[in-house]
Structure 1
Amino acid sequence: MITLPTTLPAILALAATLVPFLGAALIAALPRDAGKWVCQIFAAAAVLIALCLAWIFEAGGFESAHTSLIGLGSTEILGLTIDRVSVLVASAVIVIGYLVALYSIGYLNQGNREHPDIGRRRFYAFLLIFIGAMAGLVFTSTVIGQLVFFEITGACSWALIGYYESPKALRSAAKALIVTHIASLGLYVAAALIFIDTGTFALTAIAGLPASQKATILLAILIAAWGKSAQLPFHMWLPDAMEAPTPVSAYLHAASMVKVGVYIFARGLLSSGGAPEIVGWVGAVMATLTLVYGFAMYLPQIDMKRLLAYSTITQLSTIFLGLSFSVFGSDLAFKGAIAHIFNHAFAKTLFFLVAGALSYTAGTRLLPQLRGIMAKKPLLGVGFAVAAMAIAGVPPFSGFFSKFAIFAGGFQVGREHWPLMVIAVIALAESVGTFAWFLKWLGTCIPGTPSEAIEQSGPTPRSIQIVLVVLIIMSVASSGIAAWWLG
């Protein structure tokens, strides 16, 4: 049975999901030159819908709502959940999707010194599908819904990572698809177990199960989450995925695909009515191992995008830590993790798009060749510095506030579980190490006399400049937005 939504928030949530898909279908039917403009229109429409939803949700006093869309008898197959977490995260992925689309107008053309291109329409079509799939995954209320959108994001990542069609890009695309698809088996197991135990696919049904069954389902979801968020042992696809165009890298690996993992785990915990501690222990231990590994892999990187890839892995580990700490009773750690999803999305998108602007204008993204950026390209220099400080968690930039909440939550639960205190200290040490490493590259790349690559760099397209300014502002302001929104 199909039920159409009747409340305005539910209608808007469904529209935010479907409008990008409609835009992608239209791009496929129109000439190539129309693709980028159709993408802008439909991505902008999705942003307006998401912001209207946020405004109506706030005006209504932040009251959570659930709407069933597809069911069979008492079995809910697909529905919508509208609450503080879903509205906040959906707004971020949709807004950043539009910013990436706008940036791509300037990036995908023959003036790109690293990758001259004509901006093929399949890029814009798959980008819109990705935006719609992310909105659908964030709003869905069932494991079946998560599975459907999980697999759509995997298909989009395959298409976009392999966009340049070089042998290495095609291999990287296949690796991302295969690894994340293997991890998705965890969601298939979770869906089967929920249905067997409860007769429905609704995530909220987890709350009524015994502790042992809860733990099994949540751990199955966690395995799928590790795959999408490039955590050990599924981490190997993310660095190779940097073969994609930089706008794709920014969206897939800062705001969308990698956020699927942490989001589905957060949604599972939120729906469980209290997760067994074994879930927290497994999550915390694996996050710590990935955190240490990812930081160690920072050190030899000189390719800016590969450095950012390993940085993404560690930042996602920090979010998994916050969610794992929340299992032991820290609401502060949970809110810090959700806020870090929001904050990191804007800051890391900024960092990737600065890397893209440098490769566009200078023809390289190798850090030793990028010296004296501030003298020649002040906007890119400011963007580089702001993104680095926000990722490292330096006040007053956004990453500081969400990381602070996660670490405070870790020390809070560490009073009763001393191994968690050790884990929190390791995470704090990694954050300090991140600051030191980014400070090294700031000192190398930002001041001084421009290197040959920077001195001979070309102009930065206007659309790229506009997007960078917006992201610089959000890398400071997003923490205030998240803190107010989450209460």
Structure 2
Amino acid sequence: MEMIGLFTILVPFVGAILTLLVPRQSAKWVCQLFAAIATLGTWALAYKFFAEGGASETISLLSIDHIQLFGLVVDKVSTLIAVVVVGLGLIVAIYSLGYMSKGNKEHPQEGEPRYYAFLLIFIGAMAGLVLSSTILGQLLFFEITGACSWSLISYYQTPVAYKSALKALIVTHIASLGLFLAAALLFVNTGTFELTAIASLSPAVKTMVMFGIMFAAWGKSAQLPMQMWLPDAMNAPTPVSAYLHAASMVKVGVYIFARAILSGGQIPEIVGIVGVIGAIITMFYGFVMYLPQKDMKRLLAYSTIAQLAYIFLALSFAALGSNLALESGVTYIFNHAFAKSLLFLVAGSLSYACGTRMLPKLTGIMKGSPLLGVGFCVAVMAIAGVPPFNGFFSKFPLIEAGFQLSAQHSWLTPIIVLALIESVATFGWLLYWFGKSVVGEPSEAVKEMSPLPGSMKFTLIVLIAMSVLSSVIASAWIH
């Protein structure tokens, strides 16, 4: 497993170097190849893990004087999340074959080698962060994802894109100070950087370490008060928005928080309380902010902020002692990645084919492109948590866990009721836009829409299927 894990992390970095060395037209194919190899690596790692009995294993990679600096953690959570973040990297790379082309009505240009190189580096950094067993390893890959994000958000090299990229870099780098603090406290008190050492800390130090990790998580996952970078990051190419800002980069925050809870043993109650309060405030902020949006990508950005708040709510319930909430949070990361990526790629397909992603200009999508109409419908239902789509199987156990915890913490009951109200309101608002945009007579932009390339159609079909099936995979995996 050590060799497979290392291989999976390093292969995308090697591919990124090659994309810059090969002829320009070959760069996109090199990206496909190495993204596919990395994806196979995650599946091979998962197969090996379950073949050997499914017992959690920590593998040391680099130690100095018995101090473990870098290592791998291979368990049900890390293998599940590695499969989705690397696999969706491949999906986005395939989608980019069609999107990053002269046929794109909104941005008619071929993808530069640097686009594919940074996409591969991001895939490798995500694999490294998810599989890292030390807080030092998490910190290294945390910063690499920030640098890649800066490059990809500013890809179109407009003044607005540069400003948005710089904002994302600064905010997420400020957030990383929380991880620096947590790493320093952990090392000073235990003499190691291993995440499992969090469990041996005194309650006071453990609280400080957990708050440091939570601060970093809030910044990376665009939670209040560090949410301001995500809507502006929508200046990136849409495949980048789908991958970084729906499937992977914004999931870094919730993942490192989940990993800290998994490793920390008995979590101080104050961590869960602060997490719950932050999540419910962010949830309603995201909802209120996406109500006036007409740009489909900005609406999805605020929707992502609200959905990530649900994951933080689940993990905060887990910090208060609910195993069901922890399972819900982990499966929420997995399921939401597919549904929100689908909705982003539907938005990208509309801008590709129609030249706009402004919702008032897009009506009658179902008649113009049945595939995009179905994709829009499935993604909306999944994100709103309507059965049988995957979002329901993440949201229902979260609500159940909240009501179970409210027997011991009565103040949680109104929190759960508020979350339910937000969920119903989200469904109503997304249904409103579905009625205005998908059904009815086609608008001028939709009447004149160009056909989608095969690579884009393929990825949409895969994500539609996964928005139904991913909950089954996650449930079987975790249990």
TM-score, reference length from structure 2: 0.99
**What residue number does 2:273 align with?**
281
Counterpart position of 1:175: 167
**Is it true that 1:474 corresponds to 2:466 in the alignment?**
yes
Corresponding position of 2:25: 33
* 1:108-257 equivalence runs, <5 A: 108-257=100-249
Task: Name the amino acid aligned to 2:344.
Answer: F
SS of structure 1 residue aligned to 2:411: helix
Deviation at 1:420, TM superposition (A): 1.4
Query: Residue 292 of structure 2 corresponds to which residue in structure 1?
Result: 300
SS in 2 for 1:447: coil
Q: Is the 8 A contact 1:144 1:201 kept in 2?
A: yes
CA–CA distance in 2 between the matches of 1:477 and 1:60? 26
The aligned counterpart of 2:410 is 418
Give how far 1:60 is off. 2.4
2:79 corresponds, among 64, 87, 94, to 87
Contact 1:221/1:264 (8 A) holds in 2: yes
Alignment counterpart, residue 301 of structure 2, candidates 291, 300, 309: 309
Distance, in Å, in 2 between the alignment partners of 1:22 and 1:163 is 21
1:13 Cα deviation from its structure 2 partner: 1.4
Counterparts of 2:2 and 2:473, CA distance in 1 = 23
Structure 2 counterpart SS, 1:111: coil
Aligned partner letter, 1:232:
L
Q: What residue ranges of structure 2 are gaps of 5+ in the alignment?
A: none
Deviation at 1:33, TM superposition (A): 1.1
Query: Could you tell me how far 1:448 is from its partner in structure 2?
Result: 1.1
Shift of 1:61: 2.5
Asked if 1:291 corresponds to 2:267, the answer is no
Say if 2:22 is the partner of 1:61: no
SS across alignment from 2:59: strand
Write the distance in 1 (CA, Å) between the matches of 2:66 and 2:210: 23
- Confirm or deny: 8 A CA contact 1:103 1:247 kept in the other structure: yes
Distance in 1 of aligned mates of 2:218 and 2:280: 13
- 1:425 deviation in Å? 1.3
SS at the partner of 1:81? strand
Whole-angstrom CA distance in 1 between matches of 2:391 and 2:111: 33
Find the aligned partners of 2:27 and 2:113 in 1 and give their Cα distance: 5
Q: Which amino acid is 2:465 matched to?
A: I
Length, aligned pairs only: 479
The answer as to 2:342 corresponding to 1:350 is: yes
**Amino acid paired to 1:399:** G
| Whole-angstrom CA distance in 1 between matches of 2:125 and 2:98 | 25
Q: Which of 256, 280, 283 matches 1:264?
A: 256
* In structure 2, distance between residues paired with 1:56 and 1:12: 9
- What's the counterpart of residue 319 of structure 1? 311
Alignment of 1:95-106 (within 5 A): 95-106=87-98
SS at match of 1:77: strand
C-alpha distance in 2 between matches for 1:185 and 1:75: 22
Give how far 1:58 is off: 2.1
Which residue among 342, 360, 365 is the counterpart of 1:373?
365
Question: Is the partner of 1:398 in helix, strand or coil?
Answer: coil
State which drifts further: 55-64 or 11-20.
Answer: 55-64
Alignment of 1:407-486 (within 5 A): 407-486=399-478
Question: 1:23 matched to which residue of 2?
Answer: 15
Partner AA of 1:162 in structure 2: S
| 3-state secondary structure, aligned to 1:66 | strand
| Cα displacement (A) at 1:56 | 2.0
Superposed CA deviations along residues 193-230 of structure 1, whole A, max 9, x for unmatched, are 00100011111111111111111100100000000000
By how many angstroms is 1:287 displaced?
0.6
* Cross-structure match for 2:62: 70
Query: Which amino acid is 1:189 matched to?
Result: L
- Give the AA of the match of 2:290: Y
1-structure distance, mates of 2:48, 2:450: 44
Shift of 1:10: 2.1
Query: Helix, strand or coil for the counterpart of 1:181?
Result: helix
In structure 1, the partner of 2:35 is: 43
Which secondary structure does the structure 1 equivalent of 2:391 belong to?
helix
Task: Using structure 1 for the length normalisation, give the TM-score.
Answer: 0.98
Question: What amino acid does structure 2 have at the position aligned with 1:408?
Answer: E
Distance in 1, Cα, partners of 2:272 & 2:449: 49
| CA shift for structure 1 position 59 | 2.3
What does the per-residue CA deviation read over 1:363-403, in whole Å, with 9 as the maximum and x for residues that have no partner? 00011111101111000000000000000100000000101
1:322-367 CA-to-partner distances (Å, cap 9, x unmatched) read 0000112211111000000000000000000000000000000011
Deviations 1:407-463 (A, max 9, x none): 111111111111112111111111111100110011111111111100000011100
Q: Distance in 2 between matches of 1:71 and 1:428?
A: 47
Query: Secondary structure in 2 aligned to 1:469?
Result: helix
Q: Is the 8 A contact 1:186 1:220 kept in 2?
A: yes
Name the CA distance, whole Å, in 1 between partners of 2:2 and 2:308: 29
Write the distance in 2 (CA, Å) between the matches of 1:346 and 1:13. Answer: 23
Q: Residue type of the partner of 2:209?
A: I
Secondary structure at the counterpart of residue 418 of structure 1: coil
Distance 2:370 2:428 in 1: 22
Once the two structures are superposed, what CA deviation does each residue of 1:148-202 show, in whole Å capped at 9, x if it has no partner?
A: 0000000000000000001000100000000000011000000000010001111
User: For residues 46 and 247 of structure 2, what CA distance do their matches in structure 1 show?
Assistant: 18
CA separation in 1, counterparts of 2:143 and 2:189? 24
- SS of 1:141's partner is coil
Instruction: Compute the displacement of 1:110 (Å).
Output: 0.9
Deviation at 1:38, TM superposition (A): 0.2
User: SS state of the match for residue 450, structure 1?
Assistant: coil
The answer to whether the 8 Å contact 1:10/1:82 transfers is no
